[in-house]
Chains A and B, each alone.
Chain A
């Protein structure tokens, strides 16, 4: 009996001592017990039927794969120089189309199959930098910035229909690879997305 009591006291003391030394949970975090949580950035999001992160990621993924398979990129004798032009948002909702093209550019640059020239939106900054370099080095022979092999343009469209029970949204994102010298469209592809919201049930 005495032995059992001694063991119990020892265990209790050990627990108190060791728990005192153990670091408290939540180290390296601020507000770890709040309602804010980090989620999987690549998870499928179906909060509303509007164009969302899942659509952006799926569009960029699909169109990049298609572009990398096109013979003008895959079988080009030299790594082609490409410039992104604007993708027109022809839908009735706000869609940041630059987010789509930026994502495609990142993926294409990682592939090593394409070189990108600065966007037209950033050309002023690039021009300033060139002028600064040219004046500092007296090098007037800078290569023209307009010598892209291809430009990428495109459109985002949507068709929406709804009745009392169902809301259907169809998105179509199309991109083109254009040779600016000849005006020839050498590649085009599209990503279609359909999202259906049912008022009677929750789910896919």
Chain B
């Protein structure tokens, strides 16, 4: 019984550690590749008929400027993907934060996903 409890506790802790270390805990964020950029904030608001999103990205590295690409996927109320932005290249200098703001041009969008692809160095 005690053994089972210990195993379950270890599993729980491992899962939590994995979730924190991957940085992909939000359902709206998907990071592909090396996790060298942190998304410190992200939110979506309705502007008229259109969903507008803001994401704050941070490069915590003291030494290196990060270059990567990102894309936003737009979803309707049924969870179907309706549109996606083109991949956009972006650079964050070391120890800098930037805001990315995007708005869909399709009226019935209710949800989004930010996909970040960081190349290998």
A: residues with CB less than 8 A from B are 40, 42-44, 46, 54, 57-58, 61, 64-65, 68-69, 74, 107-108, 110-113, 203-204
Query: Are the C-beta atoms of A111 and B103 separated by less than 8 Å?
Result: no
Smallest CB–CB gap between A73 and chain B, Å? 10
Pair A204/B103 contact, Cβ less than 8 Å: no
Task: Scan B82-114; emit 1 where CB is below 8 A from any A CB, else 0.
Answer: 001111110100000000001101110000000
Q: Given A43-B86, A108-B105, A112-B107, 13 more contacts at CB 8 Å? A: A40-B87, A44-B86, A54-B89, A57-B86, A58-B86, A64-B105, A68-B105, A69-B47, A74-B48, A111-B49, A203-B67, A204-B67, A204-B91
A65 touches B88 (CB 8 A): no
Q: Given A69-B103, A204-B67, A54–B47 Cβ distance below 8 Å?
A: no
20 A-B residue pairs with CB within 8 Å = A40-B87, A42-B84, A43-B86, A43-B87, A44-B86, A44-B88, A54-B86, A54-B87, A61-B86, A65-B105, A68-B103, A69-B47, A108-B105, A110-B106, A111-B105, A111-B106, A112-B49, A113-B49, A203-B67, A204-B89
Number of interface residues, chain B, beta carbon within 8 A: 19
- Chain B's closest residue to A75 (CB) is B48
Q: Judging by beta carbons under 8 Å apart, are B105 and A58 in contact?
A: no
Q: Is the interface of B mostly helix, strand, loop or mixed?
A: strand
Nearest residue, chain A, Cβ from B121: A203
Interface membership of B75, Cβ < 8 A = no
- Known A65-B103, A68-B103, A110-B106: A42·B50 in contact at CB below 8 Å: no
Known A68-B50, A74-B48, A203-B67: A42·B105 in contact at CB below 8 Å:
no
Q: How far is the CA of A203 from the CA of B87 in the complex (A)?
A: 16
Among B49, B67, B69, B87: residue with most chain A CB under 10 A: B87
A154: shortest Cβ distance to chain B, in Å?
18
Which of B32-51 touch A at CB < 8 Å?
A: 47-50
Asked whether any CB of chain A lies closer than 8 Å to the CB of B30, the reply is no
Residues of chain B contacted by A74 (CB below 8 angstroms): 48
| A42, A44, A64, A111: most-surrounded residue (chain B CB, <10 A) | A44
Does B60 sit within 8 A of A, measured CB to CB? Answer: no
